[in-house]
Amino acid sequence: MARKILRINMNELKATYKDIPEKWARWGGRGLTSAIVSDEVDPTCHPLGPNNKLVIAPGWVSGTPAAPSSGRTSFGAKSPLTGTIKESNSGGLSSQKIAKLGLAAIIIEGSPKDGKWYTLHISKDGVKFEDASELLGKGMEEVDKICWEKYPNKPAVIGIGPVGEMKLTNAGISINDPENNPGRYAGRGGLGAVMASRGIKVIVVDDKGGPGVEIANMELFKKGRKKLTSAIMAHDLTKQDGALNLYGTDVLMNIINEAGGLPSRNFSAGQFEGAAKISGEMIAEMVETRHAGKAGHACHPGCIIQCSNIYPDKDGSIIASPIEYETAFALGSNCGIDDLDYVAKMTKECNDLGLDTIEMGNTIAIAMEGGLLEFGDKVGALKLFDE
Ligand code: SF4
């Protein structure tokens, strides 16, 4: 059974399924999204105009039985931020569910003639185009909650926040995690604005009853799976209680600071005196001392590295998930801010509004350099989100 390409035409509100053509048959994930954008999108088109396309593809072994850490979804389009082919990928629930529906990729083209916003519901029974007006203006925390209440089987929710609806070039695409938090992001390149220009607020993916992923040679697959799992579990970076599992990607904070390459105070320095206070080691300490949250969290079922985290507040409630290295430098050291609680609060705002944390942190850093705020003004930086 060949993997399928699901083509969704938003002009006609029509979905068609075709076997993946030979020229793309050996591709998956970012290779496939970039190949499709290269083949089908006019390089001179306006990124937010009618001729751009949003392409979504699971990785090659996503959705197979117990292939470790294989649940990333690739998003591709011509970027409104860079003007070039953009690939941005994320963990969360979507990749395995798309793959288990037998899909190699989803290509979304056109814009609704009626100018309305839509929710796409994708399941084994096909694609439903539903009115999304009740979700407009809502942040992704509320949108994810509404979708899990409305639809059965704890589906993947791929969505844009209010910033995406405004088609801003710092808008990312949110994917919910196993706890239905909106913090997994295809953040880079403004692809949330491309999704908005297709008239889509949310894509809900329910894989229940789907055909699953065909394995051509199960013995060979098992052999490869064992080899990969052993290699991951033997490496100091990726093993259980290894660097990523204990401290997440923010384990890089102290290392890069020591090397002199940490973006600090709007890239004016490569070292930050407060780096240790916003490091992965500090995230783990907060989880331990506050007896809440989680380090070593899996952003999708079956990840054995588990580098994600859920960051707790002083009272044990959850502020945000996850705090990654890039988020910590953008909203932390690059703004001269050395308080993890504030980095987490700003991360929560970004995740809910649909903002890329890197773009937003660096925007605040420029505002600080321009004199709007002092570097290190964490209260003022957080207030900017409301303003
Ligand atoms: S938890 Fe970390 S290692 Fe696992 S899939 Fe998510 S981002 Fe990758």
Per-residue pLDDT tens digits for 5-21: 999 999 999 999 999 99
Of the pLDDT bands very low, low, confident and very high (cuts 50, 70, 90), residue 248 is: very high
Q: Which atom of ligand 1 is nearest to the CA of 298?
A: 1
Q: Whose alpha carbon is nearest atom 2 of ligand 1?
A: 307
Secondary structure element (H or E) that encloses residue 108, with its range: strand 103-109
pLDDT value of residue 275: 98
pLDDT grade, residue 90 (50/70/90)? very high
Of the candidate CATH numbers 1.25.40.10, 3.40.50.300, 3.30.9.10, 1.10.569.10, the domain formed by 235-386 belongs to 1.10.569.10
> If DSSP codes are grouped into helix, strand and coil, which group holds residue 225?
helix
Q: Model confidence over 141-194: pLDDT tens digits?
A: 999 999 999 999 999 999 999 999 999 999 999 999 999 999 999 999 999 999
**Probe target for ligand 1 pocket from 283, 303, 323, 324, with the most ligand atoms within 8 Å of CB:** 303
- Give the ligand 1 atom nearest the CA of 306: 1
What's the pLDDT tens digit per position in 355-370? 999 999 999 999 999 9
Q: In what order do the strands lie in the sheet with 54-58?
A: 14-19, 4-9, 103-109, 54-58, 73-78, 85-90
Q: Ligand 1: list residues with CB < 6 Å.
A: 69, 71, 91, 298-300, 303, 305-308
- The structural domains of the chain, with segments of one domain joined by +, span 4-205, 235-386
Q: How far is the CA of 377 from the centre of ligand 1 (A)?
A: 32
Instruction: Tell me which CATH code domain 4-205 carries.
Output: 3.60.9.10
Cα three-residue angle 109-115-121, rounded to 5 degrees = 55
Q: What is the mean pLDDT of the chain?
A: 97
